[in-house]
């Protein structure tokens, strides 16, 4: 009987986080035959100031459409979009976040989960990680063998707190998939910025080269292992 394809779940707080954090890794794993789902918890718009209700509604619709297109480019099999309030995860019961992750884990039964770093400046990122750690705790029979956290340009490096900083200890060679990540992120036209903003193509390329140099590769995405279990 053929081996079951690897199943990877990406849990992100906002649209574009899933690709900023591990878009090239997702593209590589999908090309290798893995099944990849993305769960985006937050709607990503309503915290923006100066927008009318009608404008926010229009931008939210566009962002969700962009997310579908971007994830398809990256090779994601299924994108699940929730609508928790943007930058307000700390204003709602933690249980709702946990249950949202639990529902997808129960349905998909992933082997590996990628999510945010607990050292990020953004509160939604921090709470997404906590929800994943709770939903994916290593109970007997759990499908999840590994949980890894990724870095998000414009959130991870802006914490400026050495004690809470991102310290990668796992790297994925994405030399042949960096262009796919850039192409997928380009579908998020409204989220990307011009250099020297961290959410710019030039910065994202530079970060991949830095992580590559750090790990002896031409280009890499970096992760911190939250936990891993070998059977």
Percent of the chain with pLDDT over 90: 81
pTM, whole model, 2 decimals? 0.94
- Write down the pLDDT at residue 48: 65
199-230 burial: b if 16+ Cβ within 10 Å, else e: bbeebbbebbbebbeebebebbbbbbebeeee
- Write down the pLDDT at residue 140: 93
Band of the pLDDT at 88, cuts 50, 70, 90? Answer: very high
- Write down the pLDDT at residue 50: 63
Between strands 170-173 and 220-228, the pairing is antiparallel
Q: Which helix (H) or strand (E) holds 30?
A: helix 17-31
* Average pLDDT of span 154-168: 85
103-127 burial: b if 16+ Cβ within 10 Å, else e: ebbeebebbbbbbbbbbbbbebbbb
- In this model, does residue 45 exceed pLDDT 80? no
- Write down the pLDDT at residue 165: 81
Query: Would you state the structure tokens that stand for residue 32, as one six-digit string?
Result: 């290798």
- In this model, does residue 162 exceed pLDDT 70? no
- Write down the pLDDT at residue 113: 98
- Chain centroid, CA 101 distance in Å: 13
């Amino acid at each position: 009987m053929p081996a079951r394809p690897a199943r990877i779940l990406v849990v992100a707080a906002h649209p574009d986080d899933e690709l900023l954090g591990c878009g090239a890794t997702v593209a590589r794993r999908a090309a290798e035959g893995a099944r990849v789902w993305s769960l985006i918890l937050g709607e990503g718009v309503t915290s923006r100031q100066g927008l009318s209700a009608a404008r926010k509604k229009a931008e939210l619709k566009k962002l969700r459409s962009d997310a579908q297109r971007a994830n398809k480019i990256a090779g994601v099999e299924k994108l699940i979009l929730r609508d928790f309030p943007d930058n307000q995860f700390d204003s709602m019961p933690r249980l709702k976040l946990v249950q949202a992750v639990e529902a997808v884990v129960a349905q998909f039964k992933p082997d590996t989960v990628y999510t945010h770093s607990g050292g990020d400046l953004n509160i939604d990122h921090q709470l997404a990680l906590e929800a994943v750690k709770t939903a994916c705790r290593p109970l007997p029979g759990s499908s999840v063998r590994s949980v890894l956290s990724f870095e998000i340009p414009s959130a991870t490096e802006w914490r400026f707190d050495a004690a809470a900083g991102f310290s990668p200890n796992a790297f994925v060679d994405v030399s042949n998939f960096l262009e796919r990540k850039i192409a997928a992120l380009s579908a998020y036209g409204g989220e990307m910025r011009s250099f020297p903003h961290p959410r710019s193509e030039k910065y994202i390329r530079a970060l991949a080269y830095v992580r590559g140099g750090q790990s002896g590769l031409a280009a890499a995405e970096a992760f911190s292992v939250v936990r891993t279990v070998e059977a």
